[in-house]
Amino acid sequence: MSFKTISSQLAAQLDKDLMGPEIGFTLEQLMELAGLSVAEAVLKEFPYSKSRKSQVLVVAGPGNNGGDGLVCARHLALFGFNPVVFYPKRSSRTQFYGQLVNQLKFFQIPVLDGDDDWAQYLNPNETLCVVDAIFGFSFKPPVREPFGSILQQLRQVQDQLPIVSVDIPTGWDVDEGPVEPNCIIPKVLVSLTVPKPCARKIESLETQHYVGGRFVPRSFANKYGFEPFAYENASQVVKLAPE
């Protein structure tokens, strides 16, 4: 089954359109639905069970991809998981990011900053998976610190501790894929709204591919050159079959 993709440039335009005066979505709305869809993909891929480990480490970057991760962590808690959030570089762009952190505290979800020992959560005996919500479709290389070191640590454990990447595997070129040496290889990719070209590079990697962010009508999808994805019932994610 083939899937359409849109370039990083078009993805930026699509986002701008959705939050522009005509359509009028707010960041809060889209982020809530995007984060929820990522949490649902985690649940589908790693079904929750009381009898097994349920800790999920969410690594959140400074921008909107990180915001999706913060929302995802909250929904993971509602699904029964024990999320821990590592948020080393916090956005001061809008007050809303602070509110997202308060919402995590409301759920008693630990939120670690750059000085905390986040690496203790990279223990595969205790942690089920890592959500990579560091950078999204507006990422331009190179990866700057502290994220370079963080990615290096994630890469060292990725064979034992599966990574779930939000929209873009962090460090990958959005259009070209894993062009830098030593890129992480996620076990799961959750493309938001529509895959970006780098998602084609997971075909040979046995990465499970989901699409989430269920919020555009057919007419809008068609305008951007893709068809709506085949979401079932009320599900906020759809798993794509391997190519």
Q: What is the DSSP letter of 187?
A: S
Nearest distance in Å: CB 227, a copy of itself: 14
Nearer residue to a copy of itself within complex by CB, 51 or 108: 108
User: Is 94 annotated as a binding-site member?
Assistant: no
Dihedral angle computed from the Cα positions of residues 192, 242, 171 and 150, in that order, rounded to the nearest 10 degrees: 90
Nearer residue to a copy of itself within complex by CB, 208 or 236: 236
Nearest distance in Å: CB 110, a copy of itself: 14
User: Is 146 annotated as a binding-site member?
Assistant: no
Looking at the DSSP assignment, which residues form a beta bridge with residue 59? 86, 132
Q: Exposed (0-12), middle (13-18) or buried (19+): which is 47, by Cβ within 10 Å?
A: exposed
Nearer residue to a copy of itself within complex by CB, 3 or 96: 96
User: Is 136 annotated as a binding-site member?
Assistant: yes
> Under DSSP, is residue 34 helix (H, G, I), strand (E, B) or coil?
helix
Nearest distance in Å: CB 107, a copy of itself: 5
Nearest distance in Å: CB 103, a copy of itself: 6
Nearest distance in Å: CB 151, a copy of itself: 29
Nearest distance in Å: CB 222, a copy of itself: 13
* 55-60 vs 127-133, strand pairing mode: parallel
User: Is 66 annotated as a binding-site member?
Assistant: yes
Contacting residues toward a copy of itself, per CB under 8 A: 21-26, 28-29, 32-33, 36, 39-40, 43-44, 75, 77-79, 96, 98-100, 102-103, 106-108, 214-215, 217, 219-220, 231, 233-236
Give the amino acid at 210: Y
User: Is 215 annotated as a binding-site member?
Assistant: no
User: Is 64 annotated as a binding-site member?
Assistant: yes
Nearer residue to a copy of itself within complex by CB, 9 or 29: 29
Q: Count of alpha carbons within 13 Å of 113, Cβ hemisphere only?
A: 5
Nearer residue to a copy of itself within complex by CB, 21 or 142: 21
Chain center to CA of 74:
13
Segment 123-128 long-range contacts (CB within 8 Å, at least 24 positions apart)? 124/157, 124/160, 124/161, 125/53, 126/53, 126/55, 127/53, 127/55, 127/56, 127/57, 127/161, 128/46, 128/52, 128/53, 128/54, 128/55, 128/56, 128/81
What are the binding residues?
64-68, 132, 136-142, 167, 170
Query: Could you tell me which residues are annotated as the binding site for (6S)-NADPHX?
Result: 64-68, 136-142, 167
